[in-house]
Structure 1
Amino acid sequence: MFGFRPGRRRGTAAALLVATSLMLTLGGCGVDRVTPQDARDEAGTDDKAGQGARGVDCAKAKCIALTFDAGPGKDTPRLLDVLKEEQVPATFFLLGRKHVDRYPEVVKRIADEGHEVANHTWSHRILTDLDEAEVREELSLTQTAVERITGRKPTLMRPPQGRTDDKVSKVSEELGLAQILWSITAKDYSTTDSALIRQRVLDQAHGDGIILLHDIYDGTVPAVPSIIEELKRRGFTFVTVSELLAPGKAEPGVVYAPEKD
Protein backbone atom coordinates (compact mmCIF):
# COMPACT_ATOMS: atom_id res chain seq x y z
CA MET A 1 0.00 0.00 0.00
CA PHE A 2 2.07 2.40 1.23
CA GLY A 3 7.74 5.01 -9.50
CA PHE A 4 9.43 6.32 -13.08
CA ARG A 5 10.44 5.13 -16.32
CA PRO A 6 12.20 6.58 -19.29
CA GLY A 7 9.02 6.99 -21.32
CA ARG A 8 8.72 5.82 -24.87
CA ARG A 9 5.58 7.78 -25.63
CA ARG A 10 5.75 11.44 -26.44
CA GLY A 11 4.69 13.36 -23.36
CA THR A 12 5.95 11.05 -20.66
CA ALA A 13 9.43 12.54 -20.77
CA ALA A 14 7.94 16.01 -20.58
CA ALA A 15 5.81 15.04 -17.62
CA LEU A 16 8.83 13.64 -15.85
CA LEU A 17 10.82 16.80 -16.56
CA VAL A 18 8.05 18.82 -14.96
CA ALA A 19 8.34 16.59 -11.93
CA THR A 20 12.11 16.37 -11.59
CA SER A 21 12.09 18.75 -8.66
CA LEU A 22 9.51 16.68 -6.83
CA MET A 23 10.95 13.86 -4.78
CA LEU A 24 9.15 11.36 -2.60
CA THR A 25 11.13 9.39 -0.06
CA LEU A 26 9.69 6.03 0.93
CA GLY A 27 11.55 3.26 2.70
CA GLY A 28 14.80 5.18 2.28
CA CYS A 29 14.44 5.27 -1.51
CA GLY A 30 13.91 8.50 -3.45
CA VAL A 31 11.78 8.28 -6.59
CA ASP A 32 10.45 10.89 -8.98
CA ARG A 33 6.73 11.44 -8.95
CA VAL A 34 4.22 13.15 -11.22
CA THR A 35 1.32 15.03 -9.65
CA PRO A 36 -2.21 15.04 -11.10
CA GLN A 37 -1.71 18.66 -12.11
CA ASP A 38 1.55 17.77 -13.87
CA ALA A 39 -0.29 15.06 -15.83
CA ARG A 40 -3.08 17.44 -16.83
CA ASP A 41 -0.74 20.31 -17.72
CA GLU A 42 1.44 18.14 -19.91
CA ALA A 43 -1.61 16.83 -21.80
CA GLY A 44 -2.92 20.28 -22.69
CA THR A 45 -5.73 22.61 -21.70
CA ASP A 46 -8.44 22.09 -24.31
CA ASP A 47 -11.78 22.35 -22.46
CA LYS A 48 -13.37 19.28 -23.98
CA ALA A 49 -10.20 17.19 -23.70
CA GLY A 50 -9.88 18.15 -20.05
CA GLN A 51 -13.04 16.36 -19.05
CA GLY A 52 -12.87 12.87 -17.62
CA ALA A 53 -15.30 10.05 -18.34
CA ARG A 54 -18.01 11.64 -16.18
CA GLY A 55 -17.59 15.07 -17.74
CA VAL A 56 -15.56 16.46 -14.83
CA ASP A 57 -12.64 18.77 -15.54
CA CYS A 58 -10.34 18.53 -12.53
CA ALA A 59 -8.35 21.53 -13.72
CA LYS A 60 -11.44 23.54 -12.78
CA ALA A 61 -13.34 21.42 -10.26
CA LYS A 62 -12.16 20.65 -6.71
CA CYS A 63 -11.55 16.96 -7.29
CA ILE A 64 -10.63 14.20 -4.88
CA ALA A 65 -10.15 10.46 -5.51
CA LEU A 66 -11.42 7.87 -3.05
CA THR A 67 -9.36 4.67 -3.16
CA PHE A 68 -9.56 1.37 -1.31
CA ASP A 69 -6.74 -1.13 -0.87
CA ALA A 70 -6.40 -4.84 -0.17
CA GLY A 71 -9.97 -5.95 -0.87
CA PRO A 72 -12.43 -7.09 -1.77
CA GLY A 73 -13.63 -8.33 1.59
CA LYS A 74 -16.82 -9.16 3.42
CA ASP A 75 -17.78 -5.49 3.81
CA THR A 76 -17.14 -4.48 0.20
CA PRO A 77 -20.73 -5.15 -0.98
CA ARG A 78 -22.00 -2.78 1.73
CA LEU A 79 -19.44 -0.20 0.61
CA LEU A 80 -20.62 -0.57 -2.98
CA ASP A 81 -24.19 0.04 -1.83
CA VAL A 82 -23.07 3.31 -0.21
CA LEU A 83 -21.13 4.43 -3.28
CA LYS A 84 -24.07 3.64 -5.53
CA GLU A 85 -26.50 5.56 -3.34
CA GLU A 86 -24.17 8.56 -3.15
CA GLN A 87 -23.22 8.31 -6.86
CA VAL A 88 -19.54 8.35 -5.95
CA PRO A 89 -16.92 6.56 -8.09
CA ALA A 90 -13.91 4.95 -6.43
CA THR A 91 -10.72 3.16 -7.38
CA PHE A 92 -10.18 -0.29 -5.90
CA PHE A 93 -6.61 -1.61 -5.64
CA LEU A 94 -7.39 -5.30 -5.32
CA LEU A 95 -5.35 -7.99 -3.62
CA GLY A 96 -5.27 -11.30 -5.45
CA ARG A 97 -4.79 -14.15 -2.99
CA LYS A 98 -7.73 -14.70 -0.61
CA HIS A 99 -9.51 -11.63 -2.02
CA VAL A 100 -9.94 -11.52 -5.81
CA ASP A 101 -9.95 -15.31 -5.91
CA ARG A 102 -12.35 -15.52 -2.94
CA TYR A 103 -14.85 -12.83 -4.04
CA PRO A 104 -14.97 -12.93 -7.85
CA GLU A 105 -18.60 -11.81 -7.91
CA VAL A 106 -17.68 -8.69 -5.92
CA VAL A 107 -14.82 -7.91 -8.31
CA LYS A 108 -17.26 -8.15 -11.21
CA ARG A 109 -19.72 -5.89 -9.41
CA ILE A 110 -17.00 -3.28 -8.79
CA ALA A 111 -16.26 -3.18 -12.51
CA ASP A 112 -19.89 -3.38 -13.62
CA GLU A 113 -20.87 -0.42 -11.43
CA GLY A 114 -18.28 1.83 -13.06
CA HIS A 115 -15.55 1.88 -10.46
CA GLU A 116 -11.90 1.64 -11.42
CA VAL A 117 -10.31 -1.78 -10.86
CA ALA A 118 -6.59 -1.69 -10.08
CA ASN A 119 -3.80 -4.02 -8.90
CA HIS A 120 -2.40 -4.28 -5.35
CA THR A 121 -0.28 -7.42 -5.99
CA TRP A 122 -1.13 -11.05 -5.34
CA SER A 123 -0.03 -11.55 -1.74
CA HIS A 124 1.02 -8.09 -0.49
CA ARG A 125 4.75 -8.82 -0.43
CA ILE A 126 6.98 -5.75 -0.28
CA LEU A 127 8.08 -5.45 -3.90
CA THR A 128 11.39 -3.74 -3.17
CA ASP A 129 12.45 -6.82 -1.16
CA LEU A 130 11.90 -9.14 -4.14
CA ASP A 131 13.89 -9.94 -7.25
CA GLU A 132 12.57 -8.96 -10.68
CA ALA A 133 10.94 -12.32 -11.39
CA GLU A 134 9.11 -12.26 -8.05
CA VAL A 135 7.85 -8.72 -8.64
CA ARG A 136 6.57 -9.79 -12.05
CA GLU A 137 4.76 -12.77 -10.54
CA GLU A 138 3.13 -10.69 -7.78
CA LEU A 139 1.69 -8.28 -10.33
CA SER A 140 1.00 -10.70 -13.18
CA LEU A 141 -1.07 -13.14 -11.12
CA THR A 142 -3.48 -10.38 -10.13
CA GLN A 143 -3.55 -8.98 -13.67
CA THR A 144 -4.62 -12.38 -14.96
CA ALA A 145 -7.16 -13.01 -12.22
CA VAL A 146 -8.85 -9.63 -12.70
CA GLU A 147 -8.92 -9.99 -16.48
CA ARG A 148 -10.52 -13.41 -16.15
CA ILE A 149 -13.37 -11.90 -14.12
CA THR A 150 -13.84 -8.48 -15.73
CA GLY A 151 -12.47 -8.99 -19.24
CA ARG A 152 -9.91 -6.22 -18.76
CA LYS A 153 -6.45 -5.98 -17.24
CA PRO A 154 -5.85 -3.15 -14.78
CA THR A 155 -3.70 -0.23 -15.89
CA LEU A 156 -2.96 1.06 -12.38
CA MET A 157 -1.22 -0.53 -9.43
CA ARG A 158 -0.32 0.46 -5.90
CA PRO A 159 2.83 -1.08 -4.39
CA PRO A 160 2.39 -2.44 -0.85
CA GLN A 161 3.41 0.21 1.70
CA GLY A 162 4.09 2.53 -1.25
CA ARG A 163 7.56 1.04 -1.59
CA THR A 164 8.96 1.21 -5.10
CA ASP A 165 12.28 1.47 -6.91
CA ASP A 166 13.70 1.27 -10.42
CA LYS A 167 13.20 -2.51 -10.54
CA VAL A 168 9.53 -2.23 -9.59
CA SER A 169 9.09 0.59 -12.08
CA LYS A 170 10.69 -1.46 -14.86
CA VAL A 171 8.39 -4.44 -14.28
CA SER A 172 5.36 -2.16 -13.94
CA GLU A 173 6.18 -0.59 -17.30
CA GLU A 174 6.48 -4.03 -18.92
CA LEU A 175 3.05 -5.00 -17.58
CA GLY A 176 1.36 -1.72 -18.57
CA LEU A 177 0.87 -0.53 -15.00
CA ALA A 178 1.22 3.02 -13.68
CA GLN A 179 2.03 3.34 -9.97
CA ILE A 180 -0.38 5.31 -7.79
CA LEU A 181 0.47 6.62 -4.32
CA TRP A 182 -1.67 8.86 -2.10
CA SER A 183 -1.72 12.04 -0.01
CA ILE A 184 -4.46 11.33 2.56
CA THR A 185 -4.48 8.35 4.89
CA ALA A 186 -6.58 7.52 7.93
CA LYS A 187 -4.23 4.71 9.00
CA ASP A 188 -7.38 2.64 9.34
CA TYR A 189 -5.30 -0.50 9.81
CA SER A 190 -4.49 0.81 13.30
CA THR A 191 -7.99 1.57 14.62
CA THR A 192 -11.60 0.40 14.49
CA ASP A 193 -12.84 3.85 15.55
CA SER A 194 -14.96 5.05 12.60
CA ALA A 195 -15.19 8.58 13.99
CA LEU A 196 -11.40 8.79 14.17
CA ILE A 197 -11.04 7.44 10.63
CA ARG A 198 -13.49 10.06 9.43
CA GLN A 199 -11.71 12.88 11.22
CA ARG A 200 -8.28 11.88 9.94
CA VAL A 201 -9.51 11.95 6.35
CA LEU A 202 -11.30 15.27 6.74
CA ASP A 203 -8.32 16.90 8.45
CA GLN A 204 -6.09 16.07 5.47
CA ALA A 205 -8.55 16.56 2.59
CA HIS A 206 -7.37 18.82 -0.24
CA GLY A 207 -8.01 19.38 -3.92
CA ASP A 208 -6.31 16.84 -6.20
CA GLY A 209 -6.01 14.56 -3.18
CA ILE A 210 -5.97 10.77 -3.25
CA ILE A 211 -7.52 9.17 -0.17
CA LEU A 212 -6.20 5.79 0.97
CA LEU A 213 -8.63 3.56 2.89
CA HIS A 214 -9.07 -0.21 3.25
CA ASP A 215 -12.41 -1.93 2.80
CA ILE A 216 -11.19 -4.92 4.84
CA TYR A 217 -11.05 -3.26 8.28
CA ASP A 218 -14.08 -3.11 10.56
CA GLY A 219 -14.06 0.64 11.20
CA THR A 220 -13.63 1.82 7.64
CA VAL A 221 -16.82 1.15 5.70
CA PRO A 222 -19.03 2.62 8.48
CA ALA A 223 -16.98 5.84 8.23
CA VAL A 224 -17.43 6.28 4.48
CA PRO A 225 -20.97 7.76 4.34
CA SER A 226 -20.10 10.66 6.65
CA ILE A 227 -16.76 11.23 4.88
CA ILE A 228 -18.60 11.53 1.57
CA GLU A 229 -21.28 13.76 3.04
CA GLU A 230 -18.82 16.22 4.55
CA LEU A 231 -16.51 16.35 1.54
CA LYS A 232 -19.47 17.02 -0.75
CA ARG A 233 -20.53 19.80 1.64
CA ARG A 234 -17.06 21.29 1.29
CA GLY A 235 -17.45 21.37 -2.48
CA PHE A 236 -15.36 18.36 -3.47
CA THR A 237 -16.14 16.31 -6.58
CA PHE A 238 -15.33 12.60 -6.37
CA VAL A 239 -13.49 11.03 -9.31
CA THR A 240 -11.51 7.91 -10.08
CA VAL A 241 -7.72 8.16 -10.20
CA SER A 242 -7.71 8.10 -14.01
CA GLU A 243 -10.31 10.89 -14.08
CA LEU A 244 -8.13 12.92 -11.70
CA LEU A 245 -5.32 12.84 -14.28
CA ALA A 246 -7.50 13.52 -17.36
CA PRO A 247 -6.88 14.53 -20.06
CA GLY A 248 -3.50 13.11 -19.10
CA LYS A 249 -3.06 9.36 -19.18
CA ALA A 250 -1.40 7.24 -16.53
CA GLU A 251 1.84 6.10 -18.18
CA PRO A 252 3.12 2.59 -17.38
CA GLY A 253 5.94 2.56 -14.87
CA VAL A 254 5.52 6.19 -13.84
CA VAL A 255 4.71 7.07 -10.21
CA TYR A 256 1.79 9.43 -9.61
CA ALA A 257 1.25 11.12 -6.25
CA PRO A 258 -0.44 14.36 -5.21
CA GLU A 259 1.41 17.01 -3.32
CA LYS A 260 0.26 17.20 0.28
CA ASP A 261 -1.08 20.52 1.49
Structure 2
Amino acid sequence: MPPTINKTKSRTARVRTAALALATAAAASLALTGCTQLDTTSPSTVRKDAADAKPKDQGKFGTVDCRKAKCVALTFDAGPSENTPRLLKILKEKKVPATFFTLGKNHVAKYPELVKQMDREGHEVASHTWSHKILTKIKPEEARKELERPNEAIEKLIGKKPTLMRPPQGRTNDDVNKLSKELGLAEVLWTVTAKDYTTNDSKLIQKRVVDQTKRDGIILLHDIYKGTVPAVPGVIDELKARGYVFVTVPQLLAPGKAEAGKVYR
Protein backbone atom coordinates (compact mmCIF):
# COMPACT_ATOMS: atom_id res chain seq x y z
CA MET A 1 0.00 0.00 0.00
CA PRO A 2 2.69 2.61 0.81
CA PRO A 3 4.09 2.52 -2.74
CA THR A 4 0.57 3.07 -4.11
CA ILE A 5 0.05 6.03 -1.82
CA ASN A 6 3.39 7.49 -2.93
CA LYS A 7 2.44 7.08 -6.59
CA THR A 8 -0.90 8.76 -5.96
CA LYS A 9 0.80 11.65 -4.20
CA SER A 10 3.29 11.86 -7.05
CA ARG A 11 0.54 12.00 -9.66
CA THR A 12 -1.30 14.64 -7.62
CA ALA A 13 1.85 16.72 -7.38
CA ARG A 14 2.38 16.46 -11.13
CA VAL A 15 -1.19 17.58 -11.82
CA ARG A 16 -0.80 20.53 -9.48
CA THR A 17 2.51 21.47 -11.07
CA ALA A 18 1.00 21.29 -14.55
CA ALA A 19 -1.95 23.42 -13.46
CA LEU A 20 0.39 26.00 -11.96
CA ALA A 21 2.45 26.06 -15.15
CA LEU A 22 -0.66 26.70 -17.23
CA ALA A 23 -1.74 29.50 -14.93
CA THR A 24 1.73 31.05 -15.08
CA ALA A 25 1.76 30.80 -18.87
CA ALA A 26 -1.65 32.43 -19.04
CA ALA A 27 -0.48 35.26 -16.80
CA ALA A 28 2.63 35.72 -18.94
CA SER A 29 0.52 35.79 -22.06
CA LEU A 30 -1.72 38.41 -20.51
CA ALA A 31 1.29 40.52 -19.62
CA LEU A 32 2.70 40.28 -23.13
CA THR A 33 -0.52 41.09 -24.93
CA GLY A 34 -1.52 43.74 -22.47
CA CYS A 35 -5.14 42.59 -22.51
CA THR A 36 -7.47 44.26 -20.09
CA GLN A 37 -10.54 42.88 -18.35
CA LEU A 38 -12.19 46.31 -18.44
CA ASP A 39 -14.97 47.17 -20.87
CA THR A 40 -13.65 48.41 -24.18
CA THR A 41 -15.47 50.15 -27.02
CA SER A 42 -15.01 49.19 -30.67
CA PRO A 43 -14.68 51.72 -33.51
CA SER A 44 -17.91 50.46 -35.10
CA THR A 45 -19.79 51.12 -31.85
CA VAL A 46 -18.45 54.67 -31.70
CA ARG A 47 -19.52 55.31 -35.28
CA LYS A 48 -22.96 53.83 -34.65
CA ASP A 49 -23.51 55.86 -31.49
CA ALA A 50 -22.56 59.01 -33.39
CA ALA A 51 -25.36 58.54 -35.92
CA ASP A 52 -27.84 60.48 -33.79
CA ALA A 53 -25.32 62.95 -32.41
CA LYS A 54 -25.44 66.64 -33.17
CA PRO A 55 -23.06 67.75 -35.94
CA LYS A 56 -20.96 69.76 -33.47
CA ASP A 57 -20.31 66.56 -31.49
CA GLN A 58 -19.16 64.60 -34.51
CA GLY A 59 -15.59 64.02 -35.64
CA LYS A 60 -14.19 64.78 -39.08
CA PHE A 61 -14.26 62.10 -41.74
CA GLY A 62 -10.97 63.10 -43.30
CA THR A 63 -10.61 61.49 -46.72
CA VAL A 64 -12.67 58.37 -46.04
CA ASP A 65 -15.92 57.31 -44.39
CA CYS A 66 -15.12 54.19 -42.34
CA ARG A 67 -18.82 53.37 -42.10
CA LYS A 68 -18.48 52.34 -45.73
CA ALA A 69 -14.78 51.67 -46.28
CA LYS A 70 -12.79 48.75 -44.87
CA CYS A 71 -10.59 50.82 -42.57
CA VAL A 72 -7.63 49.92 -40.38
CA ALA A 73 -5.39 52.06 -38.18
CA LEU A 74 -1.63 51.65 -38.22
CA THR A 75 -0.13 52.64 -34.86
CA PHE A 76 3.43 52.83 -33.58
CA ASP A 77 4.51 52.78 -29.93
CA ALA A 78 7.52 53.97 -27.98
CA GLY A 79 9.19 56.26 -30.52
CA PRO A 80 10.35 58.38 -32.09
CA SER A 81 13.75 56.83 -32.64
CA GLU A 82 16.57 56.74 -35.16
CA ASN A 83 14.34 54.47 -37.27
CA THR A 84 11.49 56.97 -37.49
CA PRO A 85 12.81 59.14 -40.37
CA ARG A 86 12.82 56.09 -42.63
CA LEU A 87 9.32 55.17 -41.43
CA LEU A 88 7.98 58.66 -42.10
CA LYS A 89 9.46 58.54 -45.59
CA ILE A 90 7.71 55.21 -46.27
CA LEU A 91 4.38 56.49 -44.97
CA LYS A 92 4.68 59.62 -47.12
CA GLU A 93 5.50 57.62 -50.24
CA LYS A 94 2.63 55.19 -49.59
CA LYS A 95 0.23 58.03 -48.65
CA VAL A 96 -0.61 56.33 -45.36
CA PRO A 97 -1.44 58.24 -42.15
CA ALA A 98 -0.49 56.65 -38.84
CA THR A 99 -0.98 57.22 -35.14
CA PHE A 100 2.18 57.56 -33.07
CA PHE A 101 1.97 56.80 -29.35
CA THR A 102 5.17 58.56 -28.39
CA LEU A 103 7.32 58.21 -25.28
CA GLY A 104 8.52 61.36 -23.59
CA LYS A 105 11.82 60.49 -21.95
CA ASN A 106 14.65 59.74 -24.42
CA HIS A 107 12.21 59.98 -27.34
CA VAL A 108 10.06 63.10 -27.66
CA ALA A 109 12.71 64.94 -25.66
CA LYS A 110 15.49 63.61 -27.90
CA TYR A 111 13.77 63.86 -31.30
CA PRO A 112 11.54 66.96 -31.13
CA GLU A 113 11.83 67.65 -34.87
CA LEU A 114 10.44 64.21 -35.68
CA VAL A 115 7.39 64.91 -33.52
CA LYS A 116 6.84 68.14 -35.45
CA GLN A 117 7.25 66.27 -38.72
CA MET A 118 4.68 63.65 -37.68
CA ASP A 119 2.11 66.37 -37.04
CA ARG A 120 3.02 68.36 -40.13
CA GLU A 121 2.60 65.33 -42.39
CA GLY A 122 -0.86 64.48 -41.11
CA HIS A 123 -0.16 61.79 -38.55
CA GLU A 124 -1.80 61.70 -35.13
CA VAL A 125 0.62 62.39 -32.27
CA ALA A 126 -0.49 60.63 -29.09
CA SER A 127 1.03 59.66 -25.74
CA HIS A 128 2.60 56.45 -24.47
CA THR A 129 3.50 58.08 -21.12
CA TRP A 130 6.76 59.71 -20.15
CA SER A 131 8.95 56.73 -19.22
CA HIS A 132 6.84 53.61 -19.86
CA LYS A 133 6.07 52.86 -16.23
CA ILE A 134 3.15 50.49 -15.73
CA LEU A 135 0.39 52.85 -14.63
CA THR A 136 -1.46 50.23 -12.61
CA LYS A 137 1.63 49.52 -10.49
CA ILE A 138 2.64 53.00 -9.44
CA LYS A 139 1.18 55.56 -7.05
CA PRO A 140 -1.53 57.91 -8.37
CA GLU A 141 0.66 60.99 -8.15
CA GLU A 142 3.41 59.25 -10.13
CA ALA A 143 0.91 58.05 -12.72
CA ARG A 144 -0.31 61.61 -13.10
CA LYS A 145 3.21 62.82 -13.86
CA GLU A 146 3.65 59.99 -16.37
CA LEU A 147 0.68 61.35 -18.29
CA GLU A 148 1.07 65.08 -17.74
CA ARG A 149 4.70 65.39 -18.81
CA PRO A 150 4.30 64.07 -22.38
CA ASN A 151 1.12 66.13 -22.78
CA GLU A 152 3.05 69.27 -21.95
CA ALA A 153 6.07 68.33 -24.09
CA ILE A 154 3.95 67.51 -27.13
CA GLU A 155 1.87 70.67 -26.77
CA LYS A 156 5.03 72.79 -26.77
CA LEU A 157 6.13 71.17 -30.02
CA ILE A 158 2.94 71.05 -32.07
CA GLY A 159 0.67 73.55 -30.32
CA LYS A 160 -1.91 71.06 -29.06
CA LYS A 161 -2.14 68.42 -26.39
CA PRO A 162 -2.68 64.79 -27.36
CA THR A 163 -6.18 63.45 -26.83
CA LEU A 164 -5.20 59.78 -27.09
CA MET A 165 -3.03 57.66 -24.81
CA ARG A 166 -1.87 54.06 -24.90
CA PRO A 167 -1.01 52.66 -21.46
CA PRO A 168 2.24 50.68 -21.35
CA GLN A 169 1.56 46.97 -21.93
CA GLY A 170 -2.09 47.92 -22.32
CA ARG A 171 -2.48 47.76 -18.56
CA THR A 172 -5.22 49.95 -17.22
CA ASN A 173 -7.88 50.01 -14.52
CA ASP A 174 -10.58 52.23 -13.05
CA ASP A 175 -8.04 54.54 -11.41
CA VAL A 176 -6.16 55.03 -14.70
CA ASN A 177 -9.45 55.63 -16.49
CA LYS A 178 -10.39 58.32 -13.96
CA LEU A 179 -7.01 60.02 -14.24
CA SER A 180 -7.14 59.87 -18.04
CA LYS A 181 -10.54 61.52 -17.99
CA GLU A 182 -9.23 64.35 -15.80
CA LEU A 183 -6.40 64.92 -18.27
CA GLY A 184 -8.58 64.75 -21.37
CA LEU A 185 -7.17 61.45 -22.64
CA ALA A 186 -8.91 58.47 -24.19
CA GLU A 187 -7.11 55.13 -23.95
CA VAL A 188 -6.46 53.15 -27.12
CA LEU A 189 -5.47 49.48 -27.07
CA TRP A 190 -5.09 47.25 -30.13
CA THR A 191 -6.49 44.24 -31.96
CA VAL A 192 -3.42 43.25 -33.97
CA THR A 193 0.10 42.71 -32.64
CA ALA A 194 3.15 41.34 -34.45
CA LYS A 195 4.99 41.07 -31.14
CA ASP A 196 7.87 42.75 -32.94
CA TYR A 197 9.67 43.05 -29.62
CA THR A 198 10.37 39.30 -29.91
CA THR A 199 11.89 39.19 -33.41
CA ASN A 200 13.83 41.17 -35.99
CA ASP A 201 12.47 39.01 -38.81
CA SER A 202 10.66 41.56 -40.98
CA LYS A 203 8.92 38.90 -43.06
CA LEU A 204 7.53 37.29 -39.91
CA ILE A 205 6.36 40.65 -38.60
CA GLN A 206 4.60 41.31 -41.89
CA LYS A 207 2.94 37.90 -41.89
CA ARG A 208 1.70 38.25 -38.32
CA VAL A 209 0.10 41.60 -39.05
CA VAL A 210 -1.52 40.56 -42.32
CA ASP A 211 -2.84 37.30 -40.88
CA GLN A 212 -4.51 39.03 -37.92
CA THR A 213 -5.92 42.13 -39.57
CA LYS A 214 -9.67 42.54 -40.00
CA ARG A 215 -11.88 45.53 -40.64
CA ASP A 216 -11.57 48.22 -37.95
CA GLY A 217 -8.28 46.68 -36.84
CA ILE A 218 -5.88 48.69 -34.71
CA ILE A 219 -2.40 47.47 -35.56
CA LEU A 220 0.34 47.71 -32.93
CA LEU A 221 3.96 48.05 -34.05
CA HIS A 222 7.06 49.68 -32.56
CA ASP A 223 9.33 51.96 -34.57
CA ILE A 224 12.14 51.40 -32.06
CA TYR A 225 12.96 47.86 -33.25
CA LYS A 226 15.15 47.36 -36.30
CA GLY A 227 13.02 44.64 -37.87
CA THR A 228 9.79 46.62 -37.80
CA VAL A 229 10.22 49.52 -40.20
CA PRO A 230 11.45 47.24 -43.05
CA ALA A 231 8.22 45.25 -42.61
CA VAL A 232 5.96 48.27 -43.07
CA PRO A 233 5.99 48.53 -46.91
CA GLY A 234 4.95 44.90 -47.24
CA VAL A 235 2.22 45.32 -44.62
CA ILE A 236 0.82 48.35 -46.42
CA ASP A 237 0.97 46.83 -49.90
CA GLU A 238 -0.61 43.52 -48.88
CA LEU A 239 -3.42 45.09 -46.87
CA LYS A 240 -4.16 47.62 -49.62
CA ALA A 241 -4.33 44.73 -52.09
CA ARG A 242 -6.96 43.17 -49.82
CA GLY A 243 -9.06 46.30 -49.95
CA TYR A 244 -8.09 47.96 -46.68
CA VAL A 245 -7.84 51.72 -46.26
CA PHE A 246 -5.40 53.17 -43.73
CA VAL A 247 -6.58 55.91 -41.39
CA THR A 248 -5.58 57.46 -38.08
CA VAL A 249 -7.39 56.35 -34.92
CA PRO A 250 -9.58 59.51 -34.83
CA GLN A 251 -10.55 58.89 -38.47
CA LEU A 252 -11.38 55.27 -37.62
CA LEU A 253 -13.93 56.49 -35.07
CA ALA A 254 -15.47 59.30 -37.15
CA PRO A 255 -18.07 60.67 -37.17
CA GLY A 256 -17.79 59.65 -33.52
CA LYS A 257 -15.09 60.90 -31.21
CA ALA A 258 -12.95 59.25 -28.57
CA GLU A 259 -14.20 60.19 -25.12
CA ALA A 260 -11.70 60.96 -22.38
CA GLY A 261 -11.53 58.23 -19.74
CA LYS A 262 -12.87 55.50 -22.01
CA VAL A 263 -10.93 52.57 -23.46
CA TYR A 264 -11.07 51.76 -27.18
CA ARG A 265 -10.10 48.62 -28.99
TM-score (norm 2): 0.84
Aligned to 1:6: none
Aligned to 2:220: 212
User: How far is 1:131 from its partner?
Assistant: 1.6
Distance 1:43 1:134, change over 3 A: same
Q: Distance in 1 between matches of 2:59 and 2:42?
A: 17
* Aligned residue identity for 2:43: P
Aligned to 1:64: 72
Q: Which runs of 5+ in 1 are unaligned?
A: 1-24
Q: Which runs of 5+ in 2 are unaligned?
A: 1-29
- Please list every run of at least 4 consecutive aligned residues from structure 1 whose deviation after the TM superposition is greater than 6 angstroms: 25-28, 48-51
Corresponding position: 1:182 with 2:190: yes
Kindly indicate which of the two structures has a greater share of residues assigned to helix. Answer: 2
Superposed CA deviations along residues 22-69 of structure 1, whole A, max 9, x for unmatched, are xxx8779621111001100100079x9988442311111000000000
Superposed CA deviations along residues 41-100 of structure 1, whole A, max 9, x for unmatched, are 100079x99884423111110000000000000010100000000000000000000000
Aligned residues: 232
* Aligned residue identity for 1:133: E
Distance 1:193 1:76, change over 3 A: same
Q: Distance in 1 between matches of 2:83 and 2:194?
A: 18
TM-score (norm 1): 0.85
- Asked which structure has the greater CA Rg, the reply is 2
Aligned to 1:240: 248
Matches within 5 A, 1:82-161: 82-161=90-169
Aligned to 1:7: none
The answer (yes or no) to whether the contact 1:68–1:213 under 8 Å persists in 2 is yes
* Aligned residue identity for 1:184: V
The answer (yes or no) to whether the contact 1:51–1:57 under 8 Å persists in 2 is no
* Aligned residue identity for 1:142: P
Aligned to 1:36: 43
Distance 1:158 1:43, change over 3 A: same
* Aligned residue identity for 1:208: D
* Aligned residue identity for 1:243: Q
Corresponding position: 1:173 with 2:215: no
Matches within 5 A, 1:9-28: none
Give the percent of matched residue pairs that are identical in Structure 1 and Structure 2: 60
User: How far is 1:132 from its partner?
Assistant: 1.3
